[in-house]
Structure 1
Amino acid sequence: MPNAAEILVDTLVAWNVEVVFGLPGDGINGVMEALRTRRDKIAFVQVRHEESAAFMACAYAKWTGKLGVCLATSGPGGTHLLTGLYDAKLDQAPVLAITGMQFHDLIETFTQQDVDLTRVFNDVAVYNAHVADAAHMENVASLACRTALARKGVAHLSIASDVQEQQDAASKRSKRNRPAHTPQDMFAGHNMPLDVELDKAAAILNGASRVAILAGRGAIGAAAELEDTARLLQAPVAKALLGKAVLPDDHPYTTGGIGILGTLASQEAMETCDAVLIVGSTFPYIEYYPKPGQARGVQIDCDAQRIGLRFPVEAGLVGDAAETLRALNQRLTQKPSDEFLQRCQTTMTRWREMMRQSEDAEAQPLKPQAVARAFGQRLADDTVLATDSGQNTELAARHVDLRDGQAFGVSGSLASMACGLAYAIAAGIAFPGRPVAAIVGDGGFAMQLGEFSTAVRYKIPLKLLVIKNNMLNQIAWEQMMFLGNPQFGCELQPIDFAKAAEAMGARGFRIERADQIETVLDEAFAAEGPVVIEAVVDAYEPLMPPKMPPDYAKNFRQALPQTPGRERIEENIAREPAKSMMDA
């Protein structure tokens, strides 16, 4: 008879789970043994830190649409998962977290690692269960998988170490717990809006003359339908960061990103539209939406809870993005004029010219924009690109143009540092044979530096660009712009990341001057296996919104006299395009 751990792993196999990310420990040994004896059916990827396991499970779910699974031992092993699990919660990724516990009859007796992880995970999880015995596991394991997928969130199972090894026959099954009465597969149903709701949405959009579209991660997989919508409405498509891959960055209808990391064209589209269609996005920065009373709103989302969350829409369409757009497009009439779209396209052309100015390959100290542009140009057409949180996110958003067939991922609503490397490793596990790339900062990379050895161990074909400025650059600029405070506490002790990569058995490269960009990148991209490319760049390069709000400009001028590196910062903001962005 199978024991509780074997029932759990067999359930994962039945739910088509192919990989579990985790770190062994004595509190989870029963599950590890079940994985060992079933390693021909399900893979175990050993990480160096449980936080990375959770990030990888979240990223795997985002990349594939399948259930991501992570595993950790009792106590601190389980608590280490939390950051990555909150990433999954906030970005609606289906993840199952499995944690161990101390012996079942020592719970709440102050024994070693006596942490009630079900209580700890209560906020992060949509399903959260302490497994009582093997008969209970038969019920809850399948229900946890189903709930994570159905509710697009985190499910958690906490299992005492001795319960993991308890055989089903030893369980005292209650008379109402009949074997195999719980769901063993997923019911893949889709919501669709009612005709009256679709008619109302179409009337709003048909009646407007300047429609702007905001597309997010929920529109991934609906590119053809979204393109038809944009053509019918002659509407520019602004992309939230998680929706960067919805349409290629050179697509004539897109105006690129939105927000502080976005483009001037997207901002002006939102400032001048008279209707906005939001597709699969709850982009959190309300100040970048149309002003109250300026535009009418329509929103498409698979989750009714998300409708009207950021912008007061008049028509909320709850359903799958592709199916809903197809139904909506049948009700839309072709706009006779493309004047609004052309204005946005003209602004986008100007924005691209501004970005080329910032990518000055002759400037010294080395400009990070120039390195990011050259890095992005070398990515293969089927590359999976991840980034971390910080200035490196802005570089990926603005200076790497995604092409059709490429994928993009990042910690979205949580915006956590230390996610980029884990996301990239998960991509390599999810898509064997596809090229994988990541752009990270020296701050975030240092947090999980040892995890690069995981990429080496599993032979991930990873090209990892580290933006090294020995500074938490985004935080420094936020201190100045948001509050008017001088930069403080953001300087970092330098680390030789190229040597660290070599110490872990990989290749390390360094770029320090503009004339090294092309040759070093060519050599790095020709190298087999994972590589680190360390780009030593200007620590005082500004990170600015497409238009500097008046309060930001005032705060910045207040903070600048007391900020270290003031002279260098002044030189940089006097250059284009920073000067135009500051004066906009």
Structure 2
Amino acid sequence: MARIASESLIERLVAWGVDTVFGLPGDGINGIMEGLRRHRDRVRFVLVHHEEAAAFMATGYAKATGRIGVCLATSGPGGIHLLNGLYDAKLDHVPVLAITGMQETSVLGTGYQQEVHLDKLFADVAEYNMMVTNPAQLPSLVDLAVRTAYARRGVSHLTLPNDIQVAEAGADPYKSVAPVRAPQTAPVYLQSPGLPRQEDVEWAAEVLNRAERPAMLVGQGALHAREEVLAVAEALGAPVVKTLPGKAVVPDDSPYTTGGLGLLGTRPSEELMDEADVLFMVGTNFPYSKFLPEVRDTRVVQFEADPTRAGARIATDVPVVCDAKEGLRALLPLLARRDGNGHLAKYQKMMAKWRSDMEALENPDRHPIAPQYVMSIIDELAAEDAIMTCDSGTIATWAARHWTIRGGREFYLSGTLATMAPGLPYAIAMQHAFPGRQVIAYVGDGGFSMLMAEFLTAVQHRLPIKVVINNNNSLGQILWEQMVLGYPEHGVRYAQPEADFSAWARSCGGFGAKVTKSEDVAHAIGQALSHDGPALVDVDVNPNEPPMPGKVSYDQAKSFAQAFLKGQPHKAAIATTLFKDRIQKLSD
């Protein structure tokens, strides 16, 4: 059997350490599928039910492992479906390679069936973007695509016409123009040096040592630097604020952290941003600039791996290009240690009050079921090294505030894109990557319903993921956003009948439980976590539970009140929930 060009593609991916490809076949990639079949002992093909899920899986795989994630889709509509997941990778800066099919070169430009020029369509999402037109190009183009994805922390895209896929491997029909020299050695990615310039570190130390009210803001770029972050926080006496993608940088019970920032954050973190005289940003390009300090009152030091992002979000006095871990290690010996720091003690006291308030909302006696209580049960019963994936929406609020990072726990969601539906595909990819760890997808009914077919994927691949659905039969985050803008809610609650996703789970061959009473939550989640295969718990929660910001502004409160006055259709239930939440916080 002749060796085809698609084998050259797969073999070069193997040389880069790729062991998994997520995708959905089609007539535009039959040659690539044959290449995968011939090398099925070296690369695992994970057949999904929707190409968007394949892209999310590749992104989740890259987020959790640090290695390149690979997804595959057919020409035309298949490739189009990848885009949402690929933008998640682009905006959260993780390396992903998308491979797509293309019509035969002889018919390109004729308006052939499904002729979509995906290289043009992907021009914005991809850092490297190429249509292969010569089989001899493949090893070199794969190398360039993978290196670029790693170097620029983003998406690369290769699209292969059908005739190129099945041509003889290494064939070069254009030798008369210029010979193609395929690489003969194993591919190597030379990582950029992570060490900062000494003069930059000294400059940063000078500013930080003068701070009277320092604050650290750490993100996903510091996930590998927990010990260094805590050591610097101790030396400076600085409270540590965490972005949501950086939630696992330091444990949530650390005496140095004030938790998250923004709409899903904590009141102490917002107070800290108002008071800090020096903000030290490490491994983050926090996009919500309105929650950052006023630059006229606060000096800013930033450790950032990408030179194009250093100082891009907020005016930065000391931008330092470096790896977070290497940079903090270089900085530590230059810091003047502080003793008896009242600044840190103040925020430790505020965080103790905040944690008490959050615990008060985890009340099992409330009806309808409080989503905070559901999250607290997951937190209590999950393993110490569990991986949690999360969708966007109100569920991100409950996870941010009630999922506790301790031990080896991790947390992943769509950060900057904040798209719906990645929680389930992420969980599948991460369970593939870490078969011995507990992986929990905490998702909303809106996000789950978009890609719910992938639960069947988990069953078919015997992946023991656990799914907990926070089912409020609505698009909860949008409901509250409408009200904060001063509009009565519209078009955000689903009609009857409500979905019972546990029935879907059971029909797929997995474990499924429906919960409508608080007293059944712990038992159902315990059963799911102990089940030896895929399991799903669908919990009906209070649809009127507000994901209130850590610190409510006057304008937010005013708009919220105006929405009620304009005829909020569920104002009685919402007011009752708000009243109960307030009483619960005051009851301790």
The reply to whether TM is greater than 0.5 is: yes
2:267 alignment partner, one of 264, 268, 272: 264
Matched, 1:228 2:246: no
In structure 2, give the amino acid aligned to 1:212.
A
- Once structures 1 and 2 are overlaid, which stretch shifts more, 200-209 or 561-570? 561-570
Counterpart in the other structure of 1:488: 490
1:498 has 2:502 as partner: yes
Equivalent of residue 354 in structure 1, options 343, 353, 357:
357
The residue that corresponds to 1:527 in the other structure is 531
* Aligned: 1:19 with 2:20: yes
CA shift digits 1:170-214 (9 cap, x unpaired)? 422343422327982211232422111111100100001111100
Aligned mates of 1:383, 1:202 — CA distance in 2: 36
In the TM superposition, residue 526 of structure 1 has moved relative to its aligned partner by 2.2
Q: Distance in 1 between matches of 2:581 and 2:271?
A: 20
Distance of 2:527 and 2:147 partners within structure 1 = 46
Whole-angstrom distance in 2 between the partners of 1:224 and 1:426: 28
> CA–CA distance in 1 between the matches of 2:307 and 2:477?
34
Counterpart in the other structure of 1:44: 45
Deviates more, 1:135-144 or 1:4-13: 135-144
Aligned residue for 2:33? 32
**Which segment drifts farther, 468-477 or 356-365?**
356-365
Corresponding position: 1:171 with 2:172? yes
Matching residue of 1:454: 457
User: Cα–Cα, structure 1 residues 183 and 148, in superposed 2: closer, same or farther, change >3 Å?
Assistant: farther
Q: CA deviation at 1:288?
A: 1.2
Letter in 1 for 2:344: L
Q: CA deviation at 1:445?
A: 0.2
Separation in 2 of the partners of 1:293 and 1:357?
A: 38
Please identify, of 172-181 and 418-427, the stretch whose mean Cα deviation from structure 2 is larger.
172-181
Matched, 1:575 2:585: no
State yes or no: 1:123 paired with 2:127. no
* 1:354–1:576 Cα contact (<8 Å) kept: no
Q: C-alpha separation between the residues in 2 aligned to 1:18 and 1:190?
A: 27
Which residue does the alignment assign to 1:152?
A: 153
1:538 correspondence with 2:542 = yes
2:341 pairs with 1:338:
yes
Inter-CA distance 13–345: structure 2 relative to 1 (3 Å threshold) = same
Residues 277, 297 of structure 2: 8 Å contact kept: yes
Q: Which amino acid aligns with 1:77?
A: G
Please list the CA deviations of residues 287-312 of structure 1 after superposition, one character each: whole Å capped at 9, or x if unmatched: 21112312111001110111112221
User: What is residue 560 of structure 2 aligned with on the other side?
Assistant: 556
SS in 2 for 1:27: coil
Per-residue CA distance 1:36-79 (angstroms, 9 max, x = gap): 11111111111100000000101101100001000000000000
Spell out, residue by residue over 1:153-177, the C-alpha distance to the aligned partner (whole angstroms, 9 max, x if none).
1000011111100113542234342
Partner of 1:161: 162
1:509-555 residue CA offsets vs partner (Å, 9 max, x unmatched): 12211211222222222222111111101111111101111111111
Equivalent position to 1:515, from 519, 529, 539:
519
Cα distance in 2, alignment partners of residues 340 and 576 from structure 1: 30
1:275 alignment partner in structure 2: 278
Distance 1:417 1:69 in 2: 21
Q: What letter matches 1:118 in structure 2?
A: D
Task: Tell me if 1:9 matches 2:13.
Answer: no
Which SS does the other structure have where 2:28 is aligned? helix
CA–CA separation in structure 1 for the residues paired with 2:182 and 2:114: 33
Mapped to 1, the partners of 2:451 and 2:230 lie a distance apart of 39
> Residues 37 and 458 from structure 1, CA distance in 2 versus in 1: closer, same or farther, beyond 3 angstroms?
same
- State the Cα distance separating 1:240 from its structure 2 match: 0.1
Shift of 1:347: 0.7
Give the equivalent residue in structure 2 for 1:110: 111
- Tell me if the contact between 1:143 and 1:182 (Cα under 8 Å) persists in the aligned partners: no
Q: Secondary structure at the residue paired with 2:375?
A: helix
How far is the alpha carbon of 1:580 from its aligned partner?
A: 8.0
1:245 aligned residue:
248
Which residue number in structure 2 is paired with residue 565 of structure 1?
570
What code does the residue aligned with 2:461 have?
Answer: Y
- Structure 1 residues 171 and 352, CA, compared in 2 at 3 Å: closer, same or farther? same
Q: Distance in 2 between matches of 1:111 and 1:400?
A: 51
- Retained in 2: the 8 A contact 1:286–1:311? yes
* TM superposition shift of 1:122: 0.2
Question: 1:245, CA displacement in angstroms?
Answer: 0.6
Separation in 1, partners of 2:60, 2:353: 34
- Tell me how far apart the structure 1 counterparts of residues 112 and 179 of structure 2 sit (CA, whole Å): 34
Shift of 1:138: 2.7
- The 5-angstrom pairing of residues 129-144 of structure 1 reads 129-144=130-145
Instruction: Name the counterpart of 1:82.
Output: 83
When normalised by structure 1's length, the TM-score is 0.97
Query: How many pairs align?
Result: 580
1:452 and 1:529 map into 2 onto residues whose CA distance is 11
Q: What is the rounded CA distance, in whole Å, between the counterparts of 1:530 and 1:356 in structure 2?
A: 30
Once structures 1 and 2 are overlaid, which stretch shifts more, 387-396 or 164-173? 164-173
Would you say 1:316 and 2:315 are equivalent positions?
no
The answer to whether the aligner puts 1:468 opposite 2:468 as a matched pair is: no
- Cα distance in structure 2, aligned partners of 1:40 and 1:288: 50
Identity %: 44
The answer (yes or no) to whether the contact 2:361–2:584 under 8 Å persists in 1 is no
Q: Which AA in structure 2 matches 1:86?
A: Y
Q: How many angstroms apart in 2 are the aligned matches of 1:350 and 1:109?
A: 67
Instruction: Give the alignment's TM-score, normalised by structure 2.
Output: 0.96
* 1:214-239 Cα shifts (integer Å, max 9, x gaps): 01000011011111100000111110
Q: Which moved more, 1:8-17 or 1:171-180?
A: 171-180
Separation in structure 1 between the aligned mates of residue 500 and residue 273 of structure 2, nearest angstrom: 43
Structure 1 CA distance for aligned equivalents of residues 46 and 529 of structure 2? 25
| 2:301 corresponds to | 298
CA contact (8 A) 1:143 1:183 kept: no
CA distance in structure 1 between the aligned counterparts of 2:516 and 2:584, rounded to whole angstroms: 25
Instruction: Judge which range, 19-28 or 401-410, deviates more.
Output: 401-410
The answer to whether 1:213 aligns with 2:247 is: no
Instruction: Answer whether contact 2:360 2:584 (CA < 8 A) is retained.
Output: no
